[in-house]
Amino acid sequence: MFPIPNGCGPLLRIQVVVAHPDDETFGCGSLLLHACVAGATTAVTCATRGEAGEVAPGVEVPAGGLGSLRESELREAAAFMGVRRVELLDFRDSGMSGDAGPLTLAGADPAEIRDAVREAVDAFGPDVLVTLDGSDGHRDHAIVRDATVDVGGELGVPVYLHCLPRSAMRLWAQHMETVDPSSTYLHLGELGTPDEELTTVFGTREHLPARWAAIRLHRSQVSPFEGLPEEVASAFLCAEHLVAVRPAELLS
């Protein structure tokens, strides 16, 4: 059973806090499916509508804009994964780089982001918070991670970072070398979290078909698993890899 903090009894409420629609599925989808099947109540809090994302080839953006399309994809995927509550925090997607306006995550006052996350956490009352570890280089992921860790610390709620294990990233890099030797990621050195630093790893292979189905509900986005050989995709999708960050006294 994913992860049961010492002394908290059965885990009932898990809140995933992310920056963009698709982070909950591309990142934490197996965890959400696992939690649903295990009887936990889950919530997804998403800080933006992913307005700055790229659009998958062949996808037409409706008049309402990419943000509204991605919000609807988020809600559909979350419902498919049994998520009980979806909330958006109304910041704007900062994009990977460049100038960020005051309404974006990168342009907003960090205290304002923390307040918004705290309000969402207060409203749901989770036993555990989960967020992406931000190691993929997207600034919004790191900003949401920092806010979530701070709020978990303030409220005494354990926080788990969803990680990309180094062993899986090595498989991915070996594959990328064969298909795209110019990929900038290959020049960044060792990628991912060293496997020995992971605190919580659990198998999720039984949820693989549902995970793929949820991934495909984000039709406007190309998932990072698209086109990967099965053994490489499985390294990411058939287990969840987490690092527990705080508060230490509550973590198993």
Nearer to Zn ion, 20 or 211 (CB): 20
Residue 46 CA to residue 17 CA, distance in Å, equals 6
Angle among Cα 252, 86, 24 to the nearest 5 degrees reads 55
SS3 86: strand
Q: How many residues bind Zn ion (CB under 5 A)?
A: 3
In the complex, minimum distance from the CB of residue 248 to Zn ion, in angstroms, rounded to a whole number: 28
In the complex, minimum distance from the CB of residue 82 to Zn ion, in angstroms, rounded to a whole number: 21
Residue 89 CA to residue 103 CA, distance in Å, equals 11
Site string for Zn ion, 20-49 (x = CB under 5 A): x--x--------------------------
Q: Look up residue 25 and give its DSSP letter.
A: I
In the complex, minimum distance from the CB of residue 15 to Zn ion, in angstroms, rounded to a whole number: 17
Q: What are phi and psi of 216, to 5 degrees?
A: -75, -15
Residue 247 CA to residue 159 CA, distance in Å, equals 7
Which of 14-22, 181-189, 194-202, 220-228 is the region at the interface with Zn ion (rule: CB under 5 A)? 14-22
Is 145 near Zn ion (CB under 5 A)?
no
In the complex, minimum distance from the CB of residue 114 to Zn ion, in angstroms, rounded to a whole number: 19
Which of 15-23, 153-161, 175-183, 217-225 is the region at the interface with Zn ion (rule: CB under 5 A)? 15-23
Nearer to Zn ion, 20 or 162 (CB): 20
- CA atoms within a 13 Å half-sphere pointing along the CA-CB vector of 99: 2
Determine the residue with CB nearest Zn ion: 20
Q: Identify the residue whose tokens are 């005494």.
A: 156
Residue 94 CB contacts under 8 Å (≥ 6 apart), including other chains: 52, 100, 104, 105, 106, 107, 139, 140, 143
Site string for Zn ion, 89-128 (x = CB under 5 A): ----------------------------------------
Enumerate binding residues for Zn ion (CB under 5 A).
19-20, 23
